[in-house]
Amino acid sequence: MYQKKKERLYITELLEDPAVSYPSFYILSSSMFKNEMLHSAIIALHSFDFSWYEIPKTYEDIFAMFHSGTFPLYKEKYVVGYFGNKMMYLESNGWKGMPATTDIFKLENWLVC
């Protein structure tokens, strides 16, 4: 079966001096590697610059970001995307399915822009 090429996006390629250096890279598909909206979310996460973000007023704010192609942040730790009708969070080795825990339903755990 054909395997899509994955690339490493190092945080130091986006930020000269990140406030949070772990993880030091993310493994992404070629299309995600070039996605500027994802880069913006990763930069905000690793620089702790949440000036463009706010706590959502409703869940619709979160899903509006998904549908617009931007990425909300979860607990100021994870970039979250919505692919194939599934919410996923970004870890160092790629996108992982997001477990539906009670914390996911607390709006104060989310940041949207």
Model confidence pLDDT, tens digit, residues 1-32: 566 789 999 999 999 999 988 999 999 999 99
Phi, psi for 16 (deg, rounded to 5): -70, -45
Q: Which of 37, 40, 42 is nearest to 91 (CA)?
A: 42
Neighbouring residues of 108: CB distance < 8 A, sequence distance ≥ 6: 55
Least confident of 38-42, 75-79, 100-104: 100-104
Global pTM value:
0.89
Residue 49, domain extent: 6-11+19-111
Please say whether the beta carbons of 98 and 88 come within 8 A.
Answer: yes
**Within a domain: residue 25?**
yes
In a domain, 1, yes or no: no
The total number of structural domains in the chain stands at 1
